[in-house]
Each structure stands twice: as structure tokens, then as C-alpha cells.
Amino acid sequence: MSASRILKWVTGGLEAFLGIPIIGGTFVLSFLWTPLAVMLALHITTLVIANKEGKSSSGSVLGIVTSCIAWIPIVGMIMHIITAIILMLDASKNETA
């Protein structure tokens, strides 16, 4: 399994956690929005590695956008859920394709 695929699974799972109503928001607020900065760094890392491997980077780009606007309560939750779905679908694609 490639590094970009592993990172897409990890970032997708973390995005799914952050998208859980009340729990994700409480987690982000309790750490003073630091999880959003960590996710931004992870998405940028995943984007760079995916580009080096010639893999799809759309989920990581959406993750970067999500990390930048997720401080908005309802919008952030929806964006986290959408990003999680796209990243996990992207990670589940066949590696040879």
C-alpha cells in the first residue's frame, strides 16, 4: 500500500471523527482549534506525497479548504463529513488504476 493511500485513510478517518456532531466540535474547541491546524498540515503532506506518486489529490485539496473554513460551526461539520467521504473513496480505489 502506498504512502499516499495510507495517509488518505488516516486523514479520512480523522475528518470523519471531526464531522461527528457535538463530539467533533467539542474536541476542536477544547483544544482551541489546534486540530484544524494539525489537519491542515496532514492534508498538505498528503497532497505533496500524492502528487509525487502521481495519485489523485482532490481529497487533500478539499481537506485543505475544509481545514481553513471549519471554524464555522455547521459549515465545518458538513465539510468534514464530505471531505471524509471523498478521502475514503479515493483511498479505496484500486492502486493500479
This prediction has a pTM of 0.92
pLDDT given at position 3: 94
Inter-residue contact 56 to 93 (CB < 8 Å): yes
| Look-up of cell digits 471554524 | 71
Residues 6+ apart with CB under 8 A from 73: 25
Residue 78 has what pLDDT? 97
Q: Which three cell numbers stand for residue 26?
A: 467539542
Q: Which of 32, 12, 28 is nearest to 93 (CA)?
A: 12
Residue 71 grid coordinates: 471554524
Give 54's DSSP letter.
Answer: T
According to the model, what pLDDT value does residue 6 have? Answer: 96
**What average pLDDT does the chain have?**
94
Low-confidence ranges of the chain (pLDDT < 50): none
Percentage of the chain exceeding pLDDT 70? 97
